[in-house]
Amino acid sequence: MNKYDHVFVIRLLAGDAVSLSINGETQMQIVVFDLDGTVIDSSHRHLSKPDGSIDLAHWRENCTREKIMQDGLLPLARSMRAIKAAGHHVVVCTARVMSEHDYAFLAHHGLHYDGILSREGETDNRPDGPMKVTLLTEYVQSLGFTSIKQSGLIMFDDNLKVIAAISAAGGLCLNAEKENRRLVA
């Protein structure tokens, strides 16, 4: 089975990961999830500026514990739990600056992970795409791989620029918006 064929991805999302095998060997897969718009619906806190970019001042004002706890889950959240429970290596890769409230939200909803990669601080204003490529490259190298491509990771992200950047780095990055729609249907 080619791990990049769509049947593999559908079975992975369905949590049918224990039985996934290539040449008779069970494969441990690195699966990377973005948060906002991928596993978490935080749209009630998100305001877009006229050019379509995020209004960061508004976002930061609304990063209170109360508001964060009102966030919802998207269908891929269930897949993330199933994939982790099946023993795969789950990584969160988010453009958020993670606060204790964000970690509390993940724990409260049983969203567990092996690694979490995020923006370094409010002064870290790198664009999401190159930032995630850098974070993931360093991460997979810490696991002993040479590159994103060689790690064979599968990623879910709703940001088209991130999808393009990860794809250019040789990773398989699927459109989370499409996968969420498919999972609901």
Bridge pairing between strands 115-118 and 21-22: unpaired
Shortest Å, Cβ 167 to Mg ion: 16
The stretch near Mg ion (CB under 5 A) out of 5-13, 60-68, 136-144, 150-158 is: 150-158
Residues 100-139 vs Mg ion: string with x where CB under 5 A?
Answer: ----------------------------------------
Contact flag: residue 158 with Mg ion (CB under 5 A): yes
- What's the full length of the chain, in residues? 185
For the beta carbon of residue 18, count every other beta carbon within 10 angstroms: 12
The CA-CA-CA angle for residues 40, 175, 102, to 5°, reads 20
Shortest Å, Cβ 63 to Mg ion: 15
Cα dihedral 62/173/53/35 (nearest 10): 0
Residues 30-59 vs Mg ion: string with x where CB under 5 A?
Answer: ----x-xx----------------------
Which residue's CB is nearer to Mg ion, number 113 or number 145? 113
Which residue has its beta carbon closest to Mg ion?
37
Bridge pairing between strands 30-33 and 40-41: unpaired
How many chain residues interact with Mg ion (CB under 5 A)? 4
Strands (E) across 34-183 are located at 40-41, 72-73, 89-94, 115-118, 154-157, 172-175
Which residue's CB is nearer to Mg ion, number 86 or number 166? 166
Binding site for Mg ion (CB under 5 A): 34, 36-37, 158
